[in-house]
Chains A and B, each alone.
Chain A
Amino acid sequence: GAVVSQHPSWVICKSGTSVKIECRSLDFQATTMFWYRQFPKQSLMLMATSNEGSKATYEQGVEKDKFLINHASLTLSTLTVTSAHPEDSSFYICSASVSGKNIQYFGAGTRLSVL
């Protein structure tokens, strides 16, 4: 139980294009999903908290217009990196909490490479 699917696992794009990453909770409903960014050999940095049906809450220093988050249903949240640049290249990981619970289950991550 508590499986989180993240897609794609790896994406390469040209500078200036937009990339969408999906995060799905497969066997549970997730009122809240989280998006993290991880640089090589570093820990996870929380980018934003996504609540179903409402606007995401972004952490300080994270550009909301660049990292668009949509949480349209209890099983799906998406992160769109708009006008991607090489410095946006990173490992992006989502997590989801079972509604009402304070335990996060993580997706397998998406490696984004911007050329």
Chain B
Amino acid sequence: AQSVTQLDSQVPVFEEAPVELRCNYSSSVSVYLFWYVQYPNQGLQLLLKYLSGSTLVKGINGFEAEFNKSQTSFHLRKPSVHISDTAEYFCAVTKGIQGAQKLVFGQGTRLTINP
């Protein structure tokens, strides 16, 4: 079984500062990893995904994440945040095989951008 730990429940950051949201996972099999963003009263939007290949993946809205197999981490980063990045961010993991599989979510990190 897979599990995900998001180490920070809340991250306050000033506008234009860099940010890192941490995510660690555990699994006995290979995995696919995802970051989703949720704005208030909305569903989840896919930010980026790691399936295979390059360990540095770039997503939408200037976000990127790096898959580190030895540290079982998939931290999300952005070099300069905007007020509009204020949202809840979820890291998720699934078995690294084709065909629909269950997603296991972390508890979420609330990113708040202050002016």
Contact = CB atoms under 8 A, between A and B. Distances in A.
Do A and B bind? Answer: yes
Interface of A: 4, 6, 31-32, 34, 42-44, 46, 49, 91, 93, 95, 97, 100-109, 111
Interface string B38-52: 000111111001010
Closest 6 CB pairs of A and B: A32-B100, A97-B100, A106-B44, A106-B43, A108-B43, A109-B43
B46 A103 contact: yes
Contacts of B41: 91, 109, 111
Interface residues of B, number: 26
Contacts of B107: 42-43
Specify which of B43, B97, B98, B102 lies most central, judged by the most chain A CB atoms within 10 Å of its CB. Answer: B43
Nearest to A9: B41
Given A44-B90, A109-B42, A103 B102 contact: no
